[in-house]
Structure 1
């Protein structure tokens, strides 16, 4: 049964990748619109997250943002299908604007390891190809449950000579070793970690359990941190990649100080582009002691 599911999913991904780019966007928006209008768990989770993170919105504004966000998530799905199937350069060609590329070049020239930090904002699969075209990083990721999809992604994400590392003990060690020897890695900073691997820090007006992984690699200036996001352009023609140097506080030896500073940067981007965040992710599943669960 798992093989059949995997084959069906990969088949649908390949179908999406056959579409012209405008159709890719339109189909994605239609999927998101259906998620908005029909009862489903993703809509419920996204609505809860938005109500907690933007409590100032009235019911109408909340629903509008929910609709735009779910349509954005639908677009991310179909766009990512293309990024997983197409040659990498075809995805890179969709990057129409780049801001702050010199930040990455300076970090790479420093002789220290480089930690590329991103989040589930915009399209991280297009970003992956862009980043890998600039250097040859190890990309850290959580493997999907379906083996066929995992096999596809492992193949497609290394088209440009980079490597990937799953979120296992071996994968974590490979990322740390790469940074220590002066190499580059890419890490999504917002998946919720285990309680032992994270600390609660402010994020969008609430407390969010956030990974200590990046903080450990940057502590004391042992490596350089660079934020990267590929954000969807309003006209639907492609993406703008924005790069930003990690703030000084992220190099603190105090883990909580570093993690909070990282969270603040991600929050800044999410507030600027709220409809492009993956609100259907159970980002706030674990809560501080004594606080009720959200989901």
Structure 2
């Protein structure tokens, strides 16, 4: 009898997991057909409620904000962290239209400002350098409605949800490439004329990373951008997607290629990327992904911060 009960536990977990995934996907499909303003406001409200509940992510966000903006008051930290939670939860709700919305509905929501010709036929191999603002997903999905593209992603712990995300992010033709893929494949895509989108502003451990300042705090920063640019002879084009006020959608800004990049020093290049990111965060700090443990890895001898 005991053995039979033990055998039923994995099956029960599997059923619950499948039910949870089906419910999640069902809600996202529903959000894709509802008016964008309704969905965004609902996500904002849920974010406000969740911020009122103690959680590890709330703690992480507050630690990050105190480290990066040491001159703020306790009230300012609280207000900024609350606004961030509202944006983060809202962004999860907006995955509905991002993952399941039509091409036309996405295009209506995004205002594009580009300092380069995005459709130039003779463009050099291009790395589009993104950063983890709450609306980062919009960029790759929108670009792939126009031209071939590839995008690096990090595998989620939930394999089934990860597969849904991979499929929906690439539904207009973008090649979704897991971050652990060999550099040779990525370089091959770049040399063949397919732009590759990646973000290098999260802490993935000390391998292939250096410690450089981020708002004055040593941050473990990937050197992959420099290495791939050198191998492929690629230009590096920064971009950022920001949430517009009053539920108007998003603004996608594509900047000019970084001049003199890569240099001979991966450390110098990583420092330059972090400095650029700081300038992009300052106008809208509530939209950057502070719930990530950006300072998880510490230089030798330094204590953990979380």
Secondary structure of residue in 1 paired with 2:261: helix
Q: Deviations over 1:175-196 (max 9, x none)?
A: 2221133321010221212311
Match of 2:235 in 1: 224
Match of 1:109 in 2: 122
TM-aligned CA deviation for residue 287 of structure 1: 1.1
Match of 1:184 in 2: 195
Counterparts of 1:229 and 1:15, CA distance in 2: 27
Q: For structure 1, which segment, 114-123 or 3-12, has the greater mean C-alpha deviation from structure 2 after superposition?
A: 3-12
TM-aligned CA deviation for residue 221 of structure 1: 8.2
Is contact 2:239–2:254 with CA below 8 Å preserved after alignment? yes
Match of 2:7 in 1: none
Match of 1:84 in 2: 99
Give the TM-score normalised by the residue count of structure 1.
0.91
1:235 paired to 2:249: no
Counterparts of 1:173 and 1:81, CA distance in 2: 34
TM-aligned CA deviation for residue 109 of structure 1: 2.9
Which of 248, 258, 263 is the aligned partner of 2:269? 258
Is contact 1:198–1:210 with CA below 8 Å preserved after alignment? yes
1:195-206 matches, cutoff 5 A: 195-206=206-217
Q: For structure 1, which segment, 125-134 or 254-263, has the greater mean C-alpha deviation from structure 2 after superposition?
A: 125-134
Q: CA RMSD, aligned part only?
A: 2.0
Match of 2:159 in 1: 147
Is contact 2:127–2:198 with CA below 8 Å preserved after alignment? yes
Give the TM-score normalised by the residue count of structure 2.
0.88
Which of 164, 181, 194 is the aligned partner of 1:169? 181
Match of 2:298 in 1: 287
Is contact 2:210–2:267 with CA below 8 Å preserved after alignment? yes
Pair member with larger Rg: 2
Gaps of 5+ in 1: none
TM-aligned CA deviation for residue 134 of structure 1: 4.1
Secondary structure of residue in 2 paired with 1:291: coil
Secondary structure of residue in 2 paired with 1:195: coil
Assess, with a 3 A threshold, how the Cα gap between structure 1 residues 77 and 252 changes in structure 2: closer, same or farther. same
Match of 1:209 in 2: 220
Counterparts of 2:299 and 2:211, CA distance in 1: 7
1:27 paired to 2:39: no
Counterparts of 2:56 and 2:107, CA distance in 1: 33
Counterparts of 1:104 and 1:203, CA distance in 2: 30
Secondary structure of residue in 1 paired with 2:246: coil
Secondary structure of residue in 1 paired with 2:251: strand
Assess, with a 3 A threshold, how the Cα gap between structure 1 residues 283 and 70 changes in structure 2: closer, same or farther. same
